[in-house]
Amino acid sequence: MHHTIFDTPIVNTLLRAFSVSFLKITGWKINGSLPPNGSKSVLIAAPHTSNWDLPYTLMVAFALRLNVYWMGKEQLFRPPFRSLMMWLGGIPVEREKSNNLVAASVEAIKAADGPVQLIVPPEGTRGKTRYWKTGFYYIALGAQVPIVMAYMDYEKKISGLGPVFQPTGNIEADMASIKAFYAPFKGKNADQFHAE
């Protein structure tokens, strides 16, 4: 995995202080912590309905002392912003091309020397969608790491890390359990999120 803002000592400390203060002043409450077995894990990012999700997610990651990487559409990484987005933990994804992103992610997690939490939005887009993509599930299963159910509820202004979910290989039953956890949460554009 590439070098990011989360493993840049002085900047990390300053941005953590800013993030904690900003979230507190704006009324957000942060819950949970990374479990002992979660140093390498896949974090579900849901609901994902707005461009605001990224800055809030990064602030929550700083507040919780995470070392996150996140997947974003290739267009976010166009010059002159590519280096910045990569430093913020971004991994560009070309949605139009058929590639083996799951296998590459599995190998990257396995090969990482230190902690790495890979954030994957199951909707695959911030637009309205009724169906979740299953990449996050197969990345966790292949890398043999837990899924940490991260959430952001704009209505209640709460965010954080929920339960740990260990994939069983029974994707239908597992997805039903995961979606049931997310059903109460409201994204910034609540009508665009469906955990059914």
Q: What is the pLDDT along the chain (196 residues), one digit of tens a residue?
A: 788 999 988 999 999 999 999 999 999 999 999 999 999 999 998 888 888 999 999 999 999 999 999 888 788 888 999 999 999 999 887 766 545 788 888 988 998 888 999 998 886 544 444 568 888 999 999 999 999 999 999 999 999 999 999 888 899 999 999 989 998 998 887 665 555 5
Number of domains in the chain: 1
CATH number of the domain residue 67 falls in? 3.40.1130.10
Q: Per the domain annotation, does 194 fall within a domain?
A: no
Q: Per the domain annotation, does 196 fall within a domain?
A: no
Q: Per the domain annotation, does 72 fall within a domain?
A: yes
Q: Per the domain annotation, does 191 fall within a domain?
A: no
Tell me the residue range of the domain where 43 lies: 5-186
Residue 96 has a pLDDT of: 60
Residue 99 has a pLDDT of: 58
Q: Per the domain annotation, does 192 fall within a domain?
A: no
What is the longest distance spanned by two Cα atoms in the chain? Answer: 44
* Measured CA angle at 140 (ends 136, 142), to 5 deg: 115
Where would I find the H helices in the chain? 9-25, 53-63, 82-87, 101-111, 135-143, 171-182
Q: Per the domain annotation, does 91 fall within a domain?
A: yes
* Measured CA angle at 172 (ends 170, 177), to 5 deg: 95
Q: Per the domain annotation, does 50 fall within a domain?
A: yes
Q: Per the domain annotation, does 58 fall within a domain?
A: yes
